[in-house]
Amino acid sequence: MDRELKEGRLIIRENRFVAKVDLKGQEVKAYVPNPGRMEELMIPGTKVFVAHYPKAQRKTDYSLLLVEYNDMLISIDSHLTNKLVENALLEGTLSQFRGYEEIRAEYTYGNSRLDFYLRGKDKKCLIEVKSATLVEEGVAKFPDAPTKRGRRHLDELIKAYQEGYRVAVIFIIQRNDAYKFIPHQRIDLKFAEKLKEATENGVEVYAYNCTVTTREVSIDQEVEVDV
């Protein structure tokens, strides 16, 4: 974390991106950096942790970053996952992606902006990163809301594979209680079907859980993927 977090209680999630939080009797509005539904997490009265960002160009002075659920901290910052993966790529801690000399974020390919482009001697790779927060009985599921954008990214990866790229999608599960990952068919069957199609057409799929504290969120272990 780039600053100290303040503990509060969720009053209500006003819309996808704004929540009201009680900070020791003071009601504040906080940015919710995650467009997912997170219905099991965003329950009034839930303990949450916010960071203070008093900037003139922001509509809110706080960002809601962590939620406590069943005595466990869960990171809900969907923007954080790219930073986690970028650090892991630079440090070489993702064994599947070692050996690339160039790592470039926000790479435009086709009609999409994919998260990472890697280049090494005689090889090039495109990676898309997705954030998951929903876990049921140890099984992480994505998405928790229908995602046309997610399907479009998979189509772009399939096309890139056909053009000679190595391609992959990485699901970062921002909590530590998942041992397995599956697509969430009940929420978005089309995405689940597209992910299976992608794996049959060259797209590699990986998932990792995270260690989450009020000081740091870090990638922990790779988990089983079942599409």
What is the structure's pLDDT at 56? 66
What is the structure's pLDDT at 7? 97
Residue 161 belongs to a domain with what CATH number? 3.40.1350.60
What is the structure's pLDDT at 57? 75
Q: Would you tell me how many other CB atoms lie within 10 Å of the CB of residue 11?
A: 18
Q: State whether 94 and 32 are in the same domain.
A: no
Q: State whether 148 and 185 are in the same domain.
A: yes
Residue 69 belongs to a domain with what CATH number? 2.40.50.580
- Nearest 5°: the CA angle 74, 77, 78 is 115
In the block, residue with structure tokens 């902006």? 113
Q: State whether 204 and 116 are in the same domain.
A: yes
Calculate the CA dihedral of residues 68, 74, 175, 157 and round it to 10 degrees.
Answer: 150
Q: Containing domain of residue 70, as a range?
A: 5-75
Residue 137 makes CB contacts below 8 A (sequence gap 6+) with none
Q: State whether 102 and 214 are in the same domain.
A: yes
**Pair of tokens at residue 21:** 């939080």
What is the structure's pLDDT at 121? 86
Instruction: Give the DSSP letter string of 8-52.
Output: EEEEEEEETTEEEEEETTEEEEEE----S--TTT--TT-EEEEEE
**Pair of tokens at residue 83:** 């930073």
Q: Considering only CA atoms, give the Rg of the chain.
A: 18
Q: State whether 141 and 215 are in the same domain.
A: yes
Q: State whether 51 and 88 are in the same domain.
A: no
pLDDT values of the chain reduced to their tens digit, one per residue, 227 residues: 677 899 999 999 999 999 999 999 999 999 999 999 999 999 999 999 999 988 767 889 999 999 999 999 999 999 999 999 999 999 999 999 998 999 999 999 888 899 999 999 889 999 999 999 999 999 999 999 999 999 999 999 999 999 999 999 999 999 999 999 999 999 999 999 999 999 999 999 999 999 999 999 999 999 999 99
Choosing from 29, 45, 75, the residue where a domain stops is 75
Q: State whether 116 and 55 are in the same domain.
A: no
Per cent of the chain over pLDDT 90 is 89
pLDDT in tens, 132-190: 999 999 999 999 999 999 999 999 999 999 999 999 999 999 999 999 999 999 999 99
Q: Would you tell me how many other CB atoms lie within 10 Å of the CB of residue 200?
A: 10
**Pair of tokens at residue 54:** 């008093």
Pair 68, 75: CB distance under 8 Å? no
Choosing from 51, 75, 99, the residue where a domain stops is 75
Q: State whether 93 and 187 are in the same domain.
A: yes
Q: State whether 218 and 115 are in the same domain.
A: yes
